[in-house]
Amino acid sequence: MENLEKRIKEFAKKAGAVLVGVAGPERMDGPASLHPAYILKGATSVVSIALPLDVDAIYEFFNKQSPVPHNIDQGIKNQRTLRICMEIEQYLISLGYGAKTVPPNSTYRRSLDPFMVRPTFSHRFGALVAGLGSFGLSGNLVTQDYGACVVLGSVVTNAHLKSDPMQPARFVMDNRCRTCKLCDKSCTMGMFRDDEEEYLFINGELHARGKRENLDFCNAPCFGLHGISRDKKWSNWGQHWIKEWMENRPDPEKRAEIRATYMGVGGRTGDSGLRFDVIRHVARDHYPREQFEDILPAYKDLPKDEDERRRLLLKVYENMGFPGLERDPNLITCSQCMLVCGPDFEETKKRYDMLLSSGYVVPDADWKMVHMDTYEEALAMKEKYKRRVSPEEMRKDRQMSAKIWYTEYFGLDPVGEYKDLIYRQKVKKACADAGLEGKEATAPLLINPAYLSSLLFGRRKKRGKTFPVEFIKKN
């Protein structure tokens, strides 16, 4: 009789998984987000899968031809990954095991700082220990055949699985990243450093990645709130540029000030809450195929007309129960550190060159993104058509955002915090033993009262006055 691991992988491939690996109980020693029992009591193992993103859609995204194909592809792949994982879950249950699917994204542990977005179970960690790839400079999981351009999914189970071989801890960092570093150059804010490493401690080994400056340096461009490159030579598909960051990147240590700045911009867009709500539902909740996957065609079958493409997206959002995104239905505006990373340096360089030479896209009078060749033209267009929404739209949007973040993700996770403290001690000792003191990769300690106070009640000046972070105002 075939062993269980082989049967699971054959089933996953038949269901549509392109990459699949498994990891057993001996592989689950690491950060709190690698503990499968957080998802399912008694879970000890993980089945990890990956689906590659469409390269032609990425080309259109980087070339500033159209953001729609990649947005469609992201939606399809997230839903497909979730569906495949649910089928694997049911297969394991049919064999008499407990199993639980972890949605591809937007499942975060409750935290006193809800914007810390710490996953309930990290797909990157799961894929790492299941042998699908290893960490790159950006912290993304880099696979051999597709680079970092994959959507990951996980199923945790109480079946005691025999682990697949892992890649060496520094395989990607030493063989690719140290001579490439194009993911860093593709980040509008420079969230991680290309010349300094930090380390995660997983299963007795130190795994390197680029040192993170500040997670909010990722949050701002990811939500389309700061889309201009650091050298102002190109933009991504985000509609907004934060003026005070265009000349000088903010000090990454001034966390409260950075967060207040981009939340102030987000609070004036009128649709930040709605956009995030759709993103998290696409990545977290499964929709019937006829309501989602079957409506959105593959890249080769997409209409050529941009307005028809936009209507496709809007139709799906309406089917999901989310009207109101007519102004800009393209929810994916960045992710460039992942998208630029192809299977080898030549492909990665090709994508980076597309991004570098593609110029700028900025909204016109109807908030449709139009291409500009020079920074001066793009800036003039932004000044000419400044985005304005009514105070009522802003008020409703802020209320919606506050409701999502503080009802879904705010709270205290004592077990997770305790495990995090234990893990901190382990990684600190491991780094010290390796002569890497202070290089451990950990988020700011939430139970530090001064840090928590600065996050929740940080203030910044505006027109000679001060005001609290907008998202936590009492409406």
**Ranges of each domain in the chain:** 4-384
| Amino acid occupying residue 210 | G
Predicted confidence band of residue 291 (pLDDT cuts 50, 70, 90): confident
d(C-alpha 164, C-alpha 358), whole Å: 41
Question: Would you say the C-alpha torsion 69, 72, 76, 82 has a positive or negative sign?
Answer: positive
The DSSP bridge pattern shows strands 360-363 and 369-372 to be: antiparallel
Tokens read off for 363: 């909204």
Average pLDDT over residues 414-440: 93
Tokens read off for 197: 């490493």
As beta bridge partners, residue 466 has 461
Question: Are 22 and 48 within 8 A, CB to CB?
Answer: yes
Residue 375 pLDDT greater than 60, yes or no:
yes
- pLDDT at position 452 is 54
Predicted confidence band of residue 100 (pLDDT cuts 50, 70, 90): very high
> pLDDT averaged over the chain?
91
d(C-alpha 131, C-alpha 289), whole Å: 30
- pLDDT at position 469 is 35
Residue 356 pLDDT greater than 80, yes or no:
yes
Residue 322 pLDDT greater than 80, yes or no:
yes
- pLDDT at position 231 is 94
| Tally of CB atoms within 10 A around 353 | 12
DSSP H or E segment with residue 371 = strand 369-372
Residue 297 pLDDT greater than 80, yes or no:
yes
Percentage above 70 pLDDT, the chain: 93
Predicted confidence band of residue 1 (pLDDT cuts 50, 70, 90): very low
Model confidence, pTM:
0.91
Predicted confidence band of residue 462 (pLDDT cuts 50, 70, 90): very low
- pLDDT at position 95 is 97
pLDDT in tens, 174-232: 999 999 999 999 999 999 999 999 999 999 999 999 999 999 999 999 999 999 999 99
CA atoms within 13 A on the CB side of 77: 22
Among the listed ranges 19-23, 84-88, 464-468, which one has the minimum average pLDDT value?
Answer: 464-468
Predicted confidence band of residue 129 (pLDDT cuts 50, 70, 90): very high
Please tell me which residue, 263 or 43, carries the higher pLDDT value: 43
Predicted confidence band of residue 457 (pLDDT cuts 50, 70, 90): low
Average pLDDT over residues 231-235: 95
Residue 383 pLDDT greater than 80, yes or no:
yes
